[in-house]
A and B are shown apart, each in its own frame.
Chain A
Amino acid sequence: MTEIIPERETAAAPVDKKPDVGPATGDGGLSAGDQRGSGGWWRGGAGESVRRNSALVVVLLALVVFAAYRRPDVYLDPDRAISNIMTILTQASAVGVLAIGMTFVIIGGGIDLSVGSLVGLASVWCTTVATQEFGMVGILFTAIVVGTLAGVVNGLLIAYGRMVAFIATLAMMVAARGLAAQISNKTTQVVSVSGINSLAETDILGIPLLVLVFAAVVAIAWVVLNRTTFGRRTVAVGGNLEAARLAGINVKRQTLLLYALSGLCCGIAAIILVSLSNAGASTHGEFYELDAIAAAIIGGTSLAGGRGTVVGTLLGVLVFAMITNLFILLNLQIEVQNIVKGAIIIGAVLVQQFRIGGLRKRRGVPASG
């Protein structure tokens, strides 16, 4: 079993970037079927993500233990512990949904710097006076459509306009924030439709609705990435664009769809933020792109594309949300919090570098390949 794991590693992530290597194509484009066919895929897949993110799990557990040690009143009282954990999860949900979309984009070999601004834009657009007249449905619909369409624009610019993803989404980041400020006239638009804030106040079996939404997004994303051709194509396109194209994947369409997916996530995150704060504002989602990228990166998603897991990103998001909560519990300064976050990003990436380096050595693949 242990010997099979590295094989899975390659199947999910063609480490080889050389365009002239044939097998990578097969790995990326066509292996979805045999993956399913080979017995024990579930254990193999799940084990792989846990192993890859074991460092992150350790960090998360260490944070929980440290928090429980410093604030036993919060963590050793079951009611307060559950309440606190639900708060952490709720606070993680908006950035979390963005980070999931970001994971797809980065696995697909791109980057989306515009997600924070698109959350701001969608939140403003869905809370204007005119939109609110349509009630709850109008707000939800507008947020989703604005986010997705902006993502489609990103995708068109990158896939068909041949713009570098970094530049195209940087431009979108600036423009969307500007447009959000323009529409809202730089004011905070309070929501008067009652359904929206009740989204944030609803619990189902003791779990906040927003956390369930986040969980659903994570679950769907896991299935899409690991069990569908869309997921396999994403990995293939990010792993080796040319090979994926030669294998018959419509790489342009795939790229477009990835940015549209990220935009859709922005719409969902905007709804989460609007329901939490009961308002739309052009400042919504400020710097979320950085948090989303950071969560994906420390979760093991490779900025070079072709490699990454949903579970890893989820852990990354949880680590950051946990730190934010912990610092408020300990009444510490923000500066220290940022230093710790930065240190965790560097630490997690270093650990992964060494693990992957070791893996390559074991498998006889040169680290430079």
Chain B
Amino acid sequence: MYATQRSSPASALPASRATVTPPPLPTTRHFDQEVPMSQDLGHLSRRGLLFGGAAIGAGTLLTACTSNEKGDDGSGDSQTVAGNSNSEPSKPVKIGFSVPAGDHGWILAVTTNGKAQAAKFSEVTFVPVESGGNDPAVQRAAVESLIQQKVDAIVFLPHEGDKLEPTALKAMEAGIPIINLDREFTNPFAYRTLIKGDNYGMGVAAGNFIAAELKKAGKTAPVIAEIGGIDFLPLTKDRSRGFKDALARNGLKVNHQVWADFTVAKGQSVTANLLQSAPKIDAIWNHDDDQGLGALAAMKQANRSEFILVGGAGSRNAMDTIKKGDTPLKATVTYSPTMASSAVAIARLVAQGRGMGDLAELQVPKTIVLASETVTKENVEAYLPLGFAS
């Protein structure tokens, strides 16, 4: 139903066809918040009873209210690679998979993509390890358990590259190839293959798109604003630098800069203030589609739409909004969690000692950097299946 053919410059995987499996339906989670309406309130007996009854009734209703099951909605889909010459089954392999726990839809999409990709290969045993909390020590222990189990390859998205590098080196020394996903280890001995997104490239893509649009509209000396993520993160700095460089090539610059910490509430808050600061804006680049939901809400509340808004990451929601075209959001630049699908596919090939389909080399390349693609109303259809639930 969802099968789509697309050329995939992003994944740098040759002639890949993206097939989309229907989402694994989330099971209904039940939570009983049984509040002991205790005897300590006994002397209020009748009032207490009423209150208790109301609380139990409310509790029952609330339990029902935690359900998040959706009918036909496609959000939460996973994207996988299939259908090239590499898809022939080979020797059975066990692939370990470790990503940090995160509270962001992107990390969740990474996990579901990795899992769905592994399920595509009959000879792959997928061994995901839980990394509860944002604690590097927990992830270290988890990856060490994978080394103990002697898996054939490990897909490793480290919480912090520096702190987990020794663990990756240990695995490599034990003969287990590490497929380093997204957050790069500085020591090249710590991984067999690195596959990552291009934060600088995201900024460049957004800057180029905005420069072209402003040129098209004939704007001279436009006011440009930027809504970043967490200001001190290297990835945020890279995105900002790319954006600045791309604008500078077109003789433009950023006039207003705010940070929204990748959260939807902060996105609303800083955007509301930003719109007060600048009575007229021509273009805004927002680094992250999740915080972009808040940014769009703030724009609607302030009744402002004189600018074009460009998003970042490529969430399903942003793509739907671009497709509808009734908001200032005109484009988003991708930082696709599909890289996890590719990482699992690469881990399999590395473990089996095979090269990549259409490449001449007999082994998988050392580094793959995904291109950041610009999704607009014109091409959004092709990208919709790749959008992740933010």
Residues of A within 8 A of B (CB): 71, 73-74, 80, 83-84, 87, 90-91, 125-126, 128-131, 134, 138, 142, 145-146, 149-150, 152-153, 156, 160, 179, 181-190, 197, 200-201, 252-253, 273, 276-279, 281-286, 324-325, 328-329, 331, 333-335
Contact = CB atoms under 8 A, between A and B. Distances in A.
Contacts of B105: 186-188
Given A130-B68, A281-B265, A328 B270 contact: yes
Nearest to B320: A190
A80 B304 CA distance: 14
Contacts of B294: 276-279
Contacts of A284: 263-265
B31 A83 contact: no
B277 A74 contact: yes
Contacts of A90: 272
Nearest to B267: A277
Interface string B48-63: 0000000100110110
A188 B31 contact: no
Among A83, A126, A185, A284, chain B packs the most CB atoms within 10 A around the CB of: A185
B219 interface: no
A131 B36 CA distance: 24
Contacts, number: 161
Interface string B13-57: 000000000000010010101011010110000000000000100
A281 B261 CA distance: 13
Is chain A's interface secondary structure helix, strand, loop, or mixed overall? helix
B148 interface: no
B55 A201 contact: no
B31 A183 contact: yes
B301 A276 contact: yes
Contacts of A131: 65
A87 B275 CA distance: 10
* Those 5 A-B pairs whose CB atoms lie nearest each other, nearest first: A130-B67, A328-B273, A131-B65, A283-B263, A277-B294
B264 A128 contact: no
A130 B70 CA distance: 9
B65 A179 contact: no
Given A129-B70, A283-B264, A329-B276, A186 B102 contact: yes
A131 to B, nearest CB: 4
A141 to B, nearest CB: 8
A276 B68 contact: no
B390 interface: yes
Contact of A328 (B55, B274, B293, B317): B274
B276 A80 contact: yes
A97 to B, nearest CB: 14
B290 interface: yes
Among B70, B107, B276, chain A packs the most CB atoms within 10 A around the CB of: B276
B103 A282 contact: yes
B380 interface: no
A34 B366 CA distance: 82
Contacts of A331: 255-257, 277
A54 to B, nearest CB: 28
